[in-house]
Amino acid sequence: MRMRIARSREGGKVTHYDLYKIDLKKGMTVLDALFQIQDRMDPSLSFRYSCRGAVCGSCSMLINKEPRLACRTQVAKIREENMRLKAFPAIVETPSGWNPDKEILVEPLPNMIILKDLVVDMSKFYDALESMRLWVDPEMNEEAFLQSPEDRKRIERYVNCILCAICYGSCPVNAENEEYIGPAALAKAWRFHEDTRIRNHTRYVETARVASGAPMCELIMNCVKACPKGVAPGGAIRMIKQNE
């Protein structure tokens, strides 16, 4: 099995692709293969990881032109899977020489500045969350608010977001509009709006309706197809639009 990996030095863009032959083992993930390359062939290869269990969201990248978690993507099964995403340049344009029948293509997550190889700058993604103040500021001596299992189920899928930014990297709107807040932040805004423990829940939807927020979304639903945790940001954004 061969793996073609995007490489870069400086300048925020891919400069070339390197081809590696990996020793395929049963159950090997793309992250396992990257470790094998880094340990045995090329220690200069840069990529992010942490939990190795699809919990932290650190290892998101473009694999065979689809945004995925490297720790969750099986090398042997990658050709069997197809997200059927709506095309935009980053997931359509392929490097010269890539043979999809014999090689796995690994590239950095789209719609973000490349720092080195498969490592991207997540600042803009996190800045959107902070700018919308997607948290709750407790008051002094405030008692705990209980929540029924039924009310919890209303926000369950949105709570499952691991901030991997795969929805952000799969979004054609983010590709064309740098100011767009992105699906993850909007889905989290709806999560707080629907949380029965929160008093001033309307402020989250009001924040999501800024010009660079929900109004800019075209409901393409790439984010729904690509999310590794089933969060379905597109559904949340539709509800924000309907809640006007």
Q: How many CB atoms lie within 10 A of CB 67?
A: 30
pLDDT confidence of 199, banded at 50, 70, 90? confident
User: What is the predicted pLDDT for the residue at 137?
Assistant: 80
**Does residue 9 register a pLDDT over 80?**
no
Can you list the domains of the chain with their CATH numbers? 2-120 (3.10.20.30), 123-137+146-242 (1.10.1060.10)
The share of the chain scoring above pLDDT 90, in percent, equals 86
User: What is the predicted pLDDT for the residue at 64?
Assistant: 97
What tens digit of pLDDT does each residue of 29-46 get?
Answer: 999 999 999 999 999 999
pLDDT confidence of 11, banded at 50, 70, 90? low
pLDDT confidence of 81, banded at 50, 70, 90? confident
What number is the average pLDDT over the span 135-163? 87
pLDDT confidence of 244, banded at 50, 70, 90? low
Residue among 32, 101, 20, 97 nearest 64 (CA): 101
Residues 114 and 14 sit within 8 Å (Cβ to Cβ): yes
Beta bridge mates, 19: 4
Across 199-217, b (16+ Cβ under 10 Å) vs e yields: eeeeebbebbeeeebbebb
Average pLDDT, the chain: 93
Lowest mean pLDDT among 49-53, 142-146, 187-191: 142-146
What tens digit of pLDDT does each residue of 215-234 get?
Answer: 999 999 999 999 999 999 99
What number is the average pLDDT over the span 173-183? 95
